[in-house]
Amino acid sequence: MPAQDKPGNSGKQVGYFCHLKLDERHMGAILVTNEIGVPLEFKYTEPVTATKLHKILYGSVLEKHLHETVIRDRLCREIRSDPDFFITSYDEKEFLGSVSNREMVAVQKYSLPPGDLSGPFSRIREREAIVELEDEAVFLRLAFSTPNEAIQQKIAAWLQEIARTMDILEPLNRIVSALTSMCGEGKRG
Amino acid sequence: MNNLPREPGIPIRIRRKLAVALGIGSLSSEISEQMLKIDADAASVNFDIAPNMLVKDGFAFLGNGMDAATAFSCKILNLDILKAPIAKNLVLPNEQRARIRQANAINQPRLRAIHAVFSAPAIRTPACGSISLPSIRTEDMNISARTGNRILISKILDMPHVRSSMDINLLPDSVYASFLREAEFIKKLPSARCELQAVFRNVPIELISQLQFLAEKNVIVYKISESFRTRTRIHDMAAVRDTGSQEIHLVPHRTRFRWAFLN
């Protein structure tokens, strides 16, 4: 790491989207942090449970509908912050889209022997890539909602940038903890 | 009549009467061969009984004219005229042996009745009030989520940050040694008896209010205090083990830092 980087003049906002399914209850939350992971905005949904009739009538599209329309679109309407992109866990890669017109990217840590990648950004599929974080020998596996490589590279560069000031995936754990605790309160209530 | 077939065993006058009784009038030999071939060896025929012939539809051209003078009694009980009309069960009174062999009277086309158009179904309208219409419910189909307000932003702000160590085996030797030098300078630990336990990247040490190192998980857990700063420095930090006392010290690197802006 180059020591004592000169300060720039703008701070980044990092968006996180998390969908949590506990038992049959679906919850979602959006957290926006500054570039060291301090929360700036947090919105979440109360748990939603699909009835037996919902399951029958929605069939195989129920999960997608819950993830994308019921939870994510609802949260999008509430968000006031304006992060460049939204990060979500890799498990969410089947339900990627845009949040408030911002691209989502599904991320997970990835182990790779040194030298296996030709560059800091390697596409492995049309919508997947592996990116190496700067001077860390840490890799991230990314899944995109868009096949556009230019946008993918822009997202990857953004991730590399914010990885210089924070642990990219750590805030997702905080969201899960918050939702889980809230769900526990609901059960006790 | 002269052309009547000369069937063996039937006297000519009987054949004439039989032809008249069946209504074939001027029965020719050609017609008899093609339409109704009679082969009967009748020893005696009772001519007193009026002919009673039942001819089914399509066979009527044979004629209904029953000559009353013909005292021949002939009863055709059943005629099947579809496709190949055959006269069956020709019963001759007092017959001893009578047969009608051939009945290819005419190649009548088979009649088929095909209802090409379906009859319009009857439309029934239940009387008003007889069956109450079910109520339509739509609200159950709308799966909707409400945004919550039980988790306050202050609660999120107060949640601890957990930071995992990077793989210290991937650290360059120079960086490894520089962390030991930092430990010697800041904590007065001889580098000869120190080793790195963990290295954490980008820790905002200026904003941390509580910091804890969990050796078993190789993570640090910290909370960030409220601050009105607009920027802060984030440092790399090492967990250095004193091999003599087994004590672990958290040592931020003084020169490995970056600036971060706080919105």
| Beta carbon pairs, A and B, within 8 Å | 130
Question: In whole angstroms, how far apart are CA A135 and each of A114, A131, A144, B219?
Answer: 12, 12, 24, 20
Partners of A41 on chain B (C-beta within 8 Å) are: 153
Partners of B145 on chain A (C-beta within 8 Å) are: 26, 28, 45-46, 48, 70-71, 74
Task: Report pLDDT for A130.
Answer: 92
Helix (H, G, I), strand (E, B) or coil at B258: strand
pLDDT band at B98 (very low <50, low <70, confident <90, very high): low
Q: From CA A140, how far away is CA A93, in angstroms rounded?
A: 14
Query: What is chain B's mean pLDDT, rounded?
Result: 69
**Residue A189 falls inside a structural domain:** no
- Beta carbons of A174 and B234 less than 8 Å apart: no
Helix and strand numbers (H, E) in chain A are 5, 10
Residue scoring higher pLDDT (A12 or B25): A12
Q: From CA B93, how far away is CA A188, in angstroms rounded?
A: 106
DSSP string over A152-165: HHHHHHHHHHHTTT
The C-alpha of B220 sits at a distance from chain A's nearest C-alpha, in angstroms, of 12
Contact in structure between A106 and A88 (CB atoms under 8 Å):
yes
Taking residues B177-192, report their average pLDDT: 90
Task: Indicate whether B111 pLDDT > 50.
Answer: yes
- Beta-carbon contacts of residue B263 (< 8 Å; ≥ 6 apart): A11, A13, A34, A40
**Domain around A166:** 14-184
- Beta-carbon contacts of residue A64 (< 8 Å; ≥ 6 apart): A94, A95
pLDDT band at B124 (very low <50, low <70, confident <90, very high): low
Number of domains in chain A: 1
Contact in structure between A105 and A154 (CB atoms under 8 Å):
no
**Residue A98 falls inside a structural domain:** yes
Task: Report pLDDT for A156.
Answer: 94
Task: Report pLDDT for A189.
Answer: 42
The C-alpha of A162 sits at a distance from chain B's nearest C-alpha, in angstroms, of 10
What are φ and ψ of residue B80, in 5° steps? -105, 110
Residue scoring higher pLDDT (B263 or A71): A71
Among the listed residues B92, B99, B105, the one whose alpha carbon sits nearest the alpha carbon of residue B56 = B105
**Residue A8 falls inside a structural domain:** no
**Residue A36 falls inside a structural domain:** yes
Task: Report pLDDT for A90.
Answer: 94
Distance of CA A118 to the CA centre of its chain: 26
Q: Which of A100-109, B21-30, B43-52 comes out lowest in average pLDDT? A: B43-52
State whether ipTM is beyond 0.85: no
Binding-face residues of A in 101-140 toward B, CB within 8 A = 114, 136-138
Q: Which two tokens stand for residue B195?
A: 């080793």
Question: In whole angstroms, how far apart are CA A141 and each of A5, A90, A105?
Answer: 27, 8, 10
* A39: nearest CA partner in chain B: B157
Binding-face residues of A in 156-185 toward B, CB within 8 A = 164-167, 170, 173-174, 177-179, 181-182, 185
pLDDT tens readout for residues A87-107: 999 999 999 988 888 899 999
Q: Which two tokens stand for residue B65?
A: 């004219």
pLDDT tens readout for residues B68-80: 444 444 454 554 5
Taking residues B108-117, report their average pLDDT: 58
The C-alpha of B184 sits at a distance from chain A's nearest C-alpha, in angstroms, of 20
Paired sense of beta strands A102-110 and A86-89, if any: parallel
Q: Which of A18-32, B22-36, B142-156, B158-172 comes out lowest in average pLDDT? A: B22-36
Partners of B156 on chain A (C-beta within 8 Å) are: 31, 39, 42, 174, 178
Say which of B143, B148, B164 has its CB closest to residue A182: B148
- Beta-carbon contacts of residue A67 (< 8 Å; ≥ 6 apart): A19, A26, A28, A92, A95
Task: Indicate whether B50 pLDDT > 50.
Answer: no
Query: For chain A, which residues score pLDDT lower than 70?
Result: 1-10, 114-115, 135-136, 185-189
**Residue A174 falls inside a structural domain:** yes
Task: Report pLDDT for B40.
Answer: 40
DSSP E strand stretches across A100-168: 102-110, 121-125, 128-132, 139-144
Name the helix (H) or strand (E) containing B154: helix B153-157
Q: Which of B123-137, B147-161, B203-217 has the highest mean pLDDT?
A: B203-217
Q: Which of B39-43, B94-98, B209-213 has the highest mean pLDDT?
A: B209-213
**Residue A7 falls inside a structural domain:** no
**Residue A144 falls inside a structural domain:** yes
Instruction: Pinpoint the alpha helices (H) of chain A.
Output: 52-58, 62-64, 74-76, 149-162, 170-188
The C-alpha of B262 sits at a distance from chain A's nearest C-alpha, in angstroms, of 6
Partners of B260 on chain A (C-beta within 8 Å) are: 11, 34-36, 165-166
Count CA atoms closer than 13 A to A37's CA, side-chain side: 29
Task: Indicate whether B140 pLDDT > 70.
Answer: no
Judge whether A6 is closer than 8 Å to chain B, CB to CB: yes
